[in-house]
Amino acid sequence: MRVQNMFSVAGPQAERIAELWWITFAICLVVFAAVLVATGLALWKGRKGTGSGHGAHLAVASAVGVSTVLLLFLIVASVATDRALAQIDASDALKIEVVGNRWWWDIRYQDPDPSRRFTTANEIAIPVGRAVELTLRANDVIHSFWVPALHGKKDLIPGRTATLTLRADKPGTYRGQCAEFCGVQHAKMALFVYALPAQEYEAWAEQQRRPAPPPADGPQQLGHDLFVKGTCAMCHAIQGTPANGRRAPDLTHFASRKTIGAGTVPNDPQQLAVWISDPHAVKPGVNMPAHAFLKREELAALVAYLGSLK
């Protein structure tokens, strides 16, 4: 299974990098073999004491010359690839702001029209074949955005803004994770990119722009009330409700996401109940406090309400 492999490429940039890798690898392999063969021969000759010094200076000098030429070639290949990576047509790029937090990703879809902006977390849907311009920022410490199927890494550094432009040419789900050590739960800071055909993407985005659906039944209503009047709303936001916290993932369309806790566990009612009552059992050190004080029916109501936020 190759979930996060740099050779399972889905975009032009990852493809260029993989090509460069194979060129470099081939040259290095030849050099490695040559050095080993030369060492082996030297040991064989030296053991018998039959190696003559005749031409040794010339041999060493030519080996150095060949190494230099190969290295210069690799430098040129590397710089050329680097330039190619930057030359992606971003004129109609979809603009997304990605903000790194310990230990989750805040994903904010930009639009000139403010009513068309929306926010999600840890899962990014993008249209296939269209460039995406990611603006990368960090709220607390340095993180690094990395989805190997699409492109290399780019750091998210507090106090600085970086951009990363990429494109997916194949529909699919591509996993990535934070690549710069960011503290106790660095291991559990994954993200997913869903490359969707253009129409599907538009449908998804339209859905995400809507406010959350109102509670449909009694338990959902109880869950809604607990959410907006309790501690949840201090950190989380749900558009269309008074909950407007900005310190934790926006949950407006929480039920449309596949995982909880930045890829830590699958998003299903059992896992969600465990996560709400004791997130530290799943992801020790996470900033969300435990809610073991909730009564069983309250917990069930919250799970039911969050599960309705398609």
Q: Which position among 125, 132, 178, 238 is part of the footprint of other proteins (CB under 8 A)?
A: 178
300 binds other proteins (CB under 8 A): no
* Minimal distance, residue 305 CB to other proteins, in Å: 28
| Closer residue to other proteins (CB): 42 or 216 | 42
16 binds other proteins (CB under 8 A): yes
280 binds other proteins (CB under 8 A): no
85 binds other proteins (CB under 8 A): yes
- The C-alpha atoms of residue 148 and residue 277 are separated, in whole angstroms, by 34
* Minimal distance, residue 83 CB to other proteins, in Å: 8
Q: Which position among 108, 117, 130, 175 is part of the footprint of other proteins (CB under 8 A)?
A: 175
296 binds other proteins (CB under 8 A): no
Q: Which position among 141, 255, 273, 282 is part of the footprint of other proteins (CB under 8 A)?
A: 141
281 binds other proteins (CB under 8 A): no
274 binds other proteins (CB under 8 A): no
**Long-range contacts formed by 285-289: CB under 8 A, 24+ apart:** 285/183, 285/184, 285/185, 286/103, 286/185, 286/261, 287/102, 287/235, 287/247, 287/248, 288/235, 288/248, 289/231
290 binds other proteins (CB under 8 A): no
Choices 93-101, 119-127, 153-161, 244-252 (CB under 8 A): range interacting with other proteins: 153-161
What are the structure tokens assigned to 220, written together?
């959902």
- The C-alpha atoms of residue 153 and residue 229 are separated, in whole angstroms, by 40
What are the structure tokens assigned to 63, written together?
């080996």
